[in-house]
């Protein structure tokens, strides 16, 4: 990663283009607000989950904040129920399952090269 960072920019939610993510594209669509292409180690963005049940092991530190809908996160033998404005901290190495019938989530991850 170089030392050059992209300049400040405003991203209007209504103009964002969500894209399918990985093998779970029908369940999760994402759009990054910032990431490695901006010369930063921070990645942040939006995710839409639809009829989702996604097993995952995160290799990065992550914070999720639910904006709309209901979101369940299975981790460490517990189910964490989150609703609008609820957040959860997830340390790297966490085995989990993201689950949601319909939700909009804001995420931040570090490092950005996930």
pLDDT tens-digit series, residues 77-109: 999 999 999 999 999 999 999 999 999 999 999
Residue 74 · residue 99 · CB < 8 Å: yes
Closest CA relative to residue 112, chosen from 4, 48, 33: 33
Distance (Å) of CA 105 to CA 10, 72, 82, 99: 19, 12, 10, 12
Q: Model's pTM, two decimal places?
A: 0.91
Residue 57 · residue 114 · CB < 8 Å: no
Residue 32 · residue 55 · CB < 8 Å: no
Residue 110 · residue 68 · CB < 8 Å: no
What are the structural domains of the chain?
20-110 (2.60.120.10)
pLDDT tens-digit series, residues 44-62: 999 999 999 999 999 999 9
């Amino acid at each position: 990663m170089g030392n050059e960072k992209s300049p400040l920019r405003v991203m209007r939610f209504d103009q964002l283009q969500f894209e399918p993510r990985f093998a779970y594209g029908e369940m999760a669509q994402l759009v990054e607000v910032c990431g490695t292409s901006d010369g930063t180690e921070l990645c942040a963005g939006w995710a839409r989950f639809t009829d989702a049940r996604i097993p995952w092991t995160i290799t990065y530190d992550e914070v999720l904040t639910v904006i709309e809908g209901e979101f369940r996160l299975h981790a460490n033998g517990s189910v964490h129920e989150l609703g609008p404005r609820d957040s959860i901290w997830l340390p790297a190495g966490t085995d989990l399952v993201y689950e949601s019938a319909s939700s909009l989530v804001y995420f931040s991850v570090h490092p950005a090269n996930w």
